[in-house]
Structure 1
Amino acid sequence: MQRFALSLAASLLLTLPAAAQMPPSPAEVAQPRVPASRAEIGLSFAPIVAKTAPAIVNVYAMRTVQARRGPSLLEDPFFRRFFGAPNGPGFGGPSERIQRALGSGVIVDASGLVVTNNHVIEGADEVRVSLSDKREFDADILLRDPRTDLAVLKLRDGKTRFPAAQLGSSDDLQVGDIVLAIGNPFGVGQTVTQGIVSALARTQVGITDYQFFIQTDAAINPGNSGGALVDGAGRVVGINTAIFSRSGGSQGIGFAIPADMVRVVLESALTGGKSVRRPWLGASLQSVTADIAEGLDLPRPVGSLVQSIRPGSPAEKSGLKVGDLITSIAGQETDDPDAFGYRFATRPIGGAVEVSVIRQGKPLTLTIPLLTAPETTPREEVTVSTRSPFGGATVVNLSPAVAEELRTVEADSGVVVTAVAEGSPADATNLRVGDVIREVNGMPITRTADLVRATSTPARVWRITLQRGGRTLTAMLPG
């Protein structure tokens, strides 16, 4: 799901004298207030919906999967002959079937750029988009970003100018602001629900790598994923992405990805990139617990403690040190590493950003350059096809860029798993994306070519060492 912010415009009468054309005082600026009359209670959100709804679309994703037929009497040769069933190697084996996923999306550019959730189109062979006026278009996937659960599509029509929604700024939102959620819940058709912003900067949700969500009580249900969270000015302030529910339906707790993160992903798609360009910090951060706060003589547990710093990284160049407590970035407070990660990731590449830290009880300001992580070693991607515990795994050489993408910041070198084919030997071995392979049968693995050599000859027993989540694991597996 997704979101955008709002702003109000003020106009001055041209007939007023020049001396009267002064900016309004704070007291004169309209402030949020409750309805003061029956007439105000009867006001409608219809103009906002009429402005935004044409840009909200339905996204249909289709993919072909292999489905194996279950056992039956017709697998017996006698019954096949008796019933005239087909003979051959394909009978009773795998068959193809089509899986369909339904979600929502938002047209954010008149050329036909659509933002939706990555989980809506994940693994899709074909994507179609249906507009509110019933027109349908095939769509290409320009960019997928699993880390934010966002994807950018392009409608295949170079002539049509499509209705587009305006992106707002999620930083303009306040708790209590009225918002609308527009999407296609349960596939019943375009639906609008209304609620308020229940919370901002909601972290510890466990949905994406960047834990920083807008929480709303506007009813959000399956199928709303990828739809718009709209503010009182008709601007998209978020992309609806998930609900908290024990029943599968809305229970008044929905989450939307902030529009400022959506804008970062969209800009990367517009530049033709296949991945999102984000600033690289080169440091690992830790949340501040109550015990740590007491030890640091802090009034409350807030901020991000620097655990480690990669040599040559922007963090090191800024003068950041292990043990520093980061409290804000660009003047915005960051309560925990998730909040800092979001604020840092949404900064534009190039230039620098100031962060406030506390070092040994003293406040200071550091300037961190906003650079992308370098790919110091070519990826040399390989999908292992040999008969080994790694069969079906796709691996690449590790570099700062790859480590940043896969969140394996603790590893400096080696070979990292980027994909595991379902049902493959690697899947049976429980190999995971992000695992760093260190050693196979006593042979150090520093490049993907090393892994190919180490697994080229079958073995009766495989002794493998890998790094996962900061821990080194060693296992003995049968050949």
Structure 2
Amino acid sequence: MDASPAPPSPCRSGRRRRLPLAAGVGVLALVCGCAGPDTSPSGAPARQAVAARAADGLEERYQDVITDVLPSVVQIAAGDGLGSGVVYDDKGHIVTNAHVVAGGKTFDVSVPTGEKVFKASLVSSYPEQDLAVVKLNDLPAGLKAARFDDTDEVEVGQIVLAMGSPLGLSGSVTQGIVSAVGRTVSESGPGDGTGATLAGMVQTSAAINPGNSGGALVNLDSEVIGIPTLAAAEGDSAAPGIGFAIPVSTVRTVAEQIIKSGKVTDSGRAALDITGRTVLDAGYRPAGVAIVSVEKGGAAQDAGLRAGDVITRIDGTPVTTITSLSEALADHRPGDEVEVTYVRGDAEKSAEVTLGEM
């Protein structure tokens, strides 16, 4: 199970077109002793011209993507905080991070293409996945919804652009690549984030700074593939080039439920159905999660766990804190069976638990 390299802090692709490799031509050239590429000094200008044309082509693609997507990326002012959001549909729904809206109910929304500020109201917030939906009270002329990719087939090395309002600079764009996929990270607590543990995250080298949260991570087909949410930190300093975005499938699932029902009705997130707290050993080191209470008829109670038990492992993965317990459960689905190892009194025990839903 992956974890972030350091406690990350929230910041309030297209499928690549491949050219077929001319393998047969390469083999024929070797067998026949045909001349290879011109490496003489006279060949340098030609190579430079090819490189220049390739750079111009990539630059044009960047500009096309920015022209397509940036009008759909907004700035959200929630009290004293600033974040970003992405227009989800033509009805004025905007998806953003839960930690951007915090406890607010009404917000000021501005778009990169104009100075007018629009009012928006909270539809619902889902802190467990750090996502929220707000809706514009009045639809501005020319409102453009972003295109959200319909797949999570994101590839490492894929070029991406991050769009948002870092440090209040609306309409900002940074570029990078997908550095990794399937990361599990835990946010910091109240004030900076929701404290949620988020699975399946997309790691990117595109700069994500305070204010980028809730914006768009976009591929070169002008499709949103994720919502930038976290930047890794090392001590009190940001770790450059390590940011995380919530994958598009999660964004679509949560947003669609909120828009349809006003809340998340099917989280898809596994739970033990307990209230717990981190306990320390004799050396004052985190040593497990003590069960404070169990939900009646919940997963833990059905498996025989009770208040006072101290959970130390899930399927052999050590559990030392509430966060590590959340991370151990993050890759599971409701209905999965896991082995929970716990201490009751002086005895170590284990139980097979059929996970509930958060």
What CA distance in whole angstroms lies between the structure 2 residues aligned with 1:118 and 1:280? 17
Larger Rg: 1
Is the partner of 2:330 in helix, strand or coil?
Answer: helix
**CA contact 2:16–2:158 (8 Å) conserved in 1:** no
Once the two structures are TM-superposed, the CA of residue 170 in structure 1 deviates from its matched residue by: 5.6
**CA contact 2:166–2:212 (8 Å) conserved in 1:** yes
**CA contact 1:6–1:234 (8 Å) conserved in 2:** yes
1:215 aligns with 2:203: yes
**Mapping of residues 164-203 of structure 1, within 5 Å:** 164-169=145-150, 171-203=152-184
Once the two structures are TM-superposed, the CA of residue 226 in structure 1 deviates from its matched residue by: 0.9
What CA distance in whole angstroms lies between the structure 2 residues aligned with 1:189 and 1:280? 33
Once the two structures are TM-superposed, the CA of residue 210 in structure 1 deviates from its matched residue by: 2.7
Once the two structures are TM-superposed, the CA of residue 39 in structure 1 deviates from its matched residue by: 1.1
What TM-score does the superposition give when structure 2 sets the normalisation length?
0.61
**CA contact 1:111–1:158 (8 Å) conserved in 2:** yes
Residue 236 (structure 1) aligns with: 224
Root-mean-square deviation over aligned CA pairs:
4.2
Using a 3 Å threshold, how does the CA distance of structure 1 residues 117 and 130 change in structure 2: closer, same or farther? same
Residue 277 (structure 1) aligns with: 266
Residue 305 (structure 1) aligns with: none
What CA distance in whole angstroms lies between the structure 2 residues aligned with 1:339 and 1:8? 33
Residue 114 (structure 1) aligns with: 94
Is the partner of 1:124 in helix, strand or coil?
Answer: coil
1:41 aligns with 2:55: yes
Work out which of the residue numbers 98, 102, 109 in structure 2 matches 1:129.
Answer: 109
Letter in 1 for 2:166: P
Identity %: 34
Residue 242 (structure 2) aligns with: 253
What CA distance in whole angstroms lies between the structure 2 residues aligned with 1:338 and 1:324? 10
Using a 3 Å threshold, how does the CA distance of structure 1 residues 166 and 101 change in structure 2: closer, same or farther? same
Letter in 2 for 1:261: T
**Mapping of residues 12-161 of structure 1, within 5 Å:** 37-42=51-56, 43-44=58-59, 45-62=62-79, 100-134=80-114, 135-157=116-138, 160=141
Residue 267 (structure 1) aligns with: 256
Aligned residues: 262
Is the partner of 1:48 in helix, strand or coil?
Answer: helix
**Larger RCO (alpha carbons 8 Å, 6+ apart):** 2
Once the two structures are TM-superposed, the CA of residue 199 in structure 1 deviates from its matched residue by: 1.2
Once the two structures are TM-superposed, the CA of residue 277 in structure 1 deviates from its matched residue by: 2.4
Once the two structures are TM-superposed, the CA of residue 147 in structure 1 deviates from its matched residue by: 0.7
Using a 3 Å threshold, how does the CA distance of structure 1 residues 198 and 310 change in structure 2: closer, same or farther? farther
Using a 3 Å threshold, how does the CA distance of structure 1 residues 325 and 159 change in structure 2: closer, same or farther? same
**CA contact 1:222–1:249 (8 Å) conserved in 2:** no
What CA distance in whole angstroms lies between the structure 2 residues aligned with 1:200 and 1:310? 37
Using a 3 Å threshold, how does the CA distance of structure 1 residues 274 and 147 change in structure 2: closer, same or farther? same
Using a 3 Å threshold, how does the CA distance of structure 1 residues 338 and 126 change in structure 2: closer, same or farther? same
**CA contact 2:125–2:132 (8 Å) conserved in 1:** yes
Residue 288 (structure 2) aligns with: none
Is the partner of 2:82 in helix, strand or coil?
Answer: strand
What CA distance in whole angstroms lies between the structure 2 residues aligned with 1:148 and 1:112? 22
1:227 aligns with 2:215: yes
The answer for unaligned runs of 5 or more in structure 1 is: 11-23, 29-34, 63-99, 285-307, 317-322, 327-335, 346-352, 359-367, 374-403, 406-479
Once the two structures are TM-superposed, the CA of residue 278 in structure 1 deviates from its matched residue by: 2.1
What CA distance in whole angstroms lies between the structure 2 residues aligned with 1:343 and 1:26? 40
Once the two structures are TM-superposed, the CA of residue 189 in structure 1 deviates from its matched residue by: 2.5
Is the partner of 1:38 in helix, strand or coil?
Answer: helix
Deviation sequence 1:280-328 (CA, Å, 0-9, x none): 75658xxxxxxxxxxxxxxxxxxxxxxx999686xx9xxxxxx9969xx
Once the two structures are TM-superposed, the CA of residue 157 in structure 1 deviates from its matched residue by: 1.3
Using a 3 Å threshold, how does the CA distance of structure 1 residues 271 and 191 change in structure 2: closer, same or farther? same
**CA contact 2:77–2:109 (8 Å) conserved in 1:** yes
Q: Which has the higher strand share?
A: 2
What CA distance in whole angstroms lies between the structure 2 residues aligned with 1:112 and 1:173? 28
Is the partner of 1:244 in helix, strand or coil?
Answer: strand
What CA distance in whole angstroms lies between the structure 1 residues aligned with 2:172 and 2:140? 28
Once the two structures are TM-superposed, the CA of residue 234 in structure 1 deviates from its matched residue by: 1.1
What CA distance in whole angstroms lies between the structure 1 residues aligned with 2:92 and 2:237? 32
Using a 3 Å threshold, how does the CA distance of structure 1 residues 193 and 357 change in structure 2: closer, same or farther? same
Once the two structures are TM-superposed, the CA of residue 160 in structure 1 deviates from its matched residue by: 4.6
Using a 3 Å threshold, how does the CA distance of structure 1 residues 281 and 185 change in structure 2: closer, same or farther? closer
Using a 3 Å threshold, how does the CA distance of structure 1 residues 38 and 309 change in structure 2: closer, same or farther? farther
Is the partner of 1:174 in helix, strand or coil?
Answer: coil
What TM-score does the superposition give when structure 1 sets the normalisation length?
0.47
Once the two structures are TM-superposed, the CA of residue 101 in structure 1 deviates from its matched residue by: 0.6
**CA contact 1:215–1:254 (8 Å) conserved in 2:** yes
Using a 3 Å threshold, how does the CA distance of structure 1 residues 179 and 339 change in structure 2: closer, same or farther? farther
What CA distance in whole angstroms lies between the structure 2 residues aligned with 1:189 and 1:174? 28
